Amino acid sequence: MRWKRTIQLLDVHAEGEIGRVAIGGVPKIPGDTIAAQLHWLNTDPKGHELRRFLCLEPRGAPIGSVNLLLPARHPEADAAFIILQPDQAHASSGSNSICVTTALLESGIVEMKEPETIVTLETAAGLVKATATCRDGRCEKVRLTMVPSFVHELDVGIDTPHWGRIKADICYGGIFYALVDVGQIGLTIEKANAAGLVQAGMILKELINRDIKVVHPEIPAISGVAYVMFRDTEADGTVRTCTTMWPGRADRSPCGTGNSANLATLYARGKAKIGDVFTSKSIIGSEFEVGLQAVTEVAGRPAVIPTITGRGFTFGLTQVALDPFDPHPNGFALTDVWGPSAGEI
């Protein structure tokens, strides 16, 4: 076979959310920093080609992400990575950090030490410390110390044609989120409502990004609301979440960066303090443990240091390739599977 390009992927999911990890064949990504490499992936035509090659059909699917393993730039980091999704490259993700840590340790790229291995991951948003519990050659769970998370603005009013005026918290947890109490759209967070939640999330994301401009005060490559996360609180204090992702799907995990952003809102409202730990449950019932480790500042704003604990599971090893005669080298997406906004891809 005379393939033009090959990339090896270790297939992993974290509490249901797929995060395939590119462990071989990753091309050189221009940029002196991970943030600069993120910017290149999101602005250069060749960056778009790589993302489409990995994320769209026939090699990709609407669900999940592809994590590009990159050489670390920070002296304290063991590895660096950037998250590719169908819409763009993203700076940070809790579930993908768990997938990458699991892949690094179970593939032997980073030596596994029992009962605990610490892996420092470099992202465009900063360093993420992953503390992995290991036994019998397996990564049993991963506790992430996330980047500082902060509130941009609480209770932002948004006029909608479907639900009237609703409120959202605009917050940063590694990427920017709009956090919306799900009762405002007349739904609950359960599997049967996934399509309705996703449709609402796509509408709200467009409205919010049209009217509200957000840029990280220290990392300008991170801008715009990436996701709308719906939330609810159960009687026992468990936070139920559904993060909606372009072009129209629900995060299968409880969402690490989303829960980090939500933790910043709880702290800002006096509902969380250092040492608090709570459970977050996803739309499929999988769980993350969310903790408030410390408080700090980002560009003068109060911020929190969250911890996210969950499990990663390997389920396959794939090599994707490009036939030089393939008429669809950059992939494709159709509205039958990818949703109505697939026509924009």
- DSSP per-residue codes, 100-140: HHHHHHHHTSS---SSEEEEEEEETTEEEEEEEEEETTEEE
Q: What is the pLDDT of residue 341?
A: 77
Q: State residue 213 phi and psi, 5-degree precision.
A: -105, 125
On the CB side of 76, CA atoms within 13 Å amount to 9
Give the model's pLDDT for residue 174. 96
Looking at residue 337, its pLDDT comes to 87
Round to whole Å and give the CA distance between 237 and 264: 16
C-alpha triplet 302, 201, 128: angle, nearest 5°: 40
- Asked if 255 is an active-site residue, the reply is yes
- pTM for this entry: 0.96
Tell me the CATH number for domain 149-309: 3.10.310.10
The tokens 């032997």 sit on which residue?
Answer: 108
Cβ 118 vs Cβ 131: under 8 Å? yes
Which helix or strand (DSSP H or E) is residue 49 part of? helix 45-55
The answer to whether residue 134 is catalytic is no
Task: State the span(s) of the chain assigned CATH 3.10.310.10.
Answer: 5-145+313-344, 149-309
Length of the chain: 345
Find out whether the peptide bond into 62 is cis, omega within 30 degrees of 0: no
pLDDT for position 247? 85
Q: Which of 93, 97, 149, 260 is the catalytic position?
A: 93
Residue 215: phi and psi, rounded to 5, are: -140, 135
pLDDT value of residue 225: 97
Cα 33 to Cα 261: distance, rounded to the nearest angstrom = 24
pLDDT of amino acid 339: 81
Which residue of the set 92, 255, 260, 286 is catalytic?
255
Mean pLDDT by 10 residues, the chain (345 residues): 92 98 97 97 97 96 95 97 96 97 97 98 97 97 98 97 96 98 98 96 96 95 97 95 93 98 98 97 98 97 98 97 94 88 73
What pLDDT does 246 receive?
A: 87
Per DSSP, 252 falls in state S
Nearest to 58 by CA among 334, 250, 343: 334
Tell me whether residue 328 is exposed, middle or buried, using C-beta atoms within 10 angstroms of its C-beta: 0 to 12, 13 to 18, 19 or more: middle
Nearest CA-CA partner of 230 in 182, 283, 173 = 182
Q: Minimal CA–CA distance to 187: which of 235, 224, 240, 255?
A: 240
Compute the distance between CA of residue 321 and CA of residue 53 in angstroms, rounded to an integer.
9
Assigned CATH topology for domain 5-145+313-344: Diaminopimelate Epimerase; Chain A, domain 1 (3.10.310)
pLDDT of residue 168: 98
